[in-house]
Amino acid sequence: MKRLLFILITVAMVVSCAEKDESLVKLDDLFSGLFPQDEPGAAVLVMKGDEIVFDKGYGIADIDTKVPIDGNTFFNIASVSKQFTATAVLQLVEKGELSLDDCVAKYHPEFESDIWKKVRIGQLLSHSSGVPDARRGYTREQKVAGDDKLAMEYMMTLDTLNFEPGTDYEYINPTFVLCGDIVSKVSGMPFTEYMRKNVFTPAGMENTLYFDPEIEHSIPNMAHGYEYEDVAGMPEEHPASRQSSDEPKNWYEYDYGEETFFATKPDGGIYTSTHEFAEWEKALRSNKVISEESRNLAQSPITDITGSTFSDYQNRENTWYGMGWFVEPKTDNSSLVIYHTGDNGGFKILAARYPESNALLLIFANRTDWDRYEVMQRAEEILGF
């Protein structure tokens, strides 16, 4: 009887391993087809529990040097940076040094309009403030080099909102820059110093940093972002390059100097790797950087995105924004995915967590010609998330 039980257990383990291996082979096939070896590509990581079960690089980080991408390659994660800023704000809330219900005017009395007495910090974090992105009249050179100060400049005289705070959704970047500024004011520390000391280091992200033109070449294992058509004359929010796969690709680098959004920090300036981001996920799960209560709040459905007339970013059925994370319950409400996306200068990023599976899916790419949402769904199907 014991021998039979042993055989049955052994067979079950073999079947389980075979199914696991088969899903990972399918995942590898998916990304191998998307990202050829000799072109810009992606780092892909899957973690279940605290175990990394898939960790592979595809393509090259640098067209000139042909350095291959792997889990230690550093990408600009663009708007995925927002969850780190939200975490910093929530840390200060936990310490009693500010409140999500505080109005912006409390921290910026020099802002001229009374509208800032209505806008709350929590609404800035949940993209429900009504504050428009009213940066206008800048040259392209100013936009490319634009820092946090320039991003907030228009707020001094802004006197209208797109909607009453808390009543709708509009995804904009300057409000997260404003949150970073408030973190600095309250903590008495430069934003980057606060983040390094209180967020990155406790999370085990020893090499993660914000882009700075003066230290660009200090970024470890740096990937460059690429497009394969010249998008210099396109609007800032240009679509991914379109070119038939049988035509030769002429790659253009779109890092700082070629594209905007690198020099602002709280809304999108982080450079990190999939390996270090996995440490971030572990830190969140183990409450090293914020409490479970704060994490659950940030990752809860706060702002209804679906049908918003003010923003089409991630505007799909059954999609919400928390504070630094998108939240998307599955259609049968049996599970959900909590994620964020990042897009800038040839970088296209996905960081998605699956609470029911205790899993993390990362796709950090330095090219934009792939359908992120479709790929995300295909990967979920393969992995059973």
Residue 294's CATH number: 3.40.710.10
260 in any annotated domain: yes
Amino acid 17: pLDDT: 47
95 in any annotated domain: yes
Distance CA 290, CA 284 (A): 7
Distance CA 72, CA 216 (A): 17
292 in any annotated domain: yes
Q: What is the pLDDT along the chain (385 residues), one digit of tens a residue?
A: 555 444 444 434 433 444 568 999 999 999 999 999 999 999 999 999 999 999 999 999 999 999 999 999 999 999 999 999 999 999 999 999 999 999 999 999 999 999 999 999 999 999 999 999 999 888 888 888 889 999 999 999 999 999 999 999 999 999 999 999 999 999 999 999 999 999 999 999 999 999 998 876 689 899 999 998 877 666 655 656 666 666 778 899 999 988 888 999 999 999 999 999 999 999 999 999 999 999 999 999 999 999 999 999 999 999 999 999 999 987 655 679 999 999 999 999 999 999 999 999 999 999 999 999 999 999 999 999 9
Distance CA 377, CA 109 (A): 46
Q: Quick one: tokens of 24?
A: 């990972």
293 in any annotated domain: yes
5 in any annotated domain: no
Helix 174-187, helix 82-94: angle, nearest 10: 40
Amino acid 236: pLDDT: 56
Residues 6+ apart with CB under 8 A from 222: 61, 62, 73, 74, 271
User: Looking at the 3D structure of the chain, how many domains does it have?
Assistant: 1
7 in any annotated domain: no
- Indicate the DSSP class of residue 338: E
228: domain range?
Answer: 40-244+251-383
Full-model pTM: 0.91
Helix 2-34, helix 372-383: angle, nearest 10: 170
Q: Quick one: tokens of 219?
A: 């970024």
347 in any annotated domain: yes
Closest CA to 132 of 101, 170, 106, 168: 170
Residues 6+ apart with CB under 8 A from 197: 189
Amino acid 229: pLDDT: 82
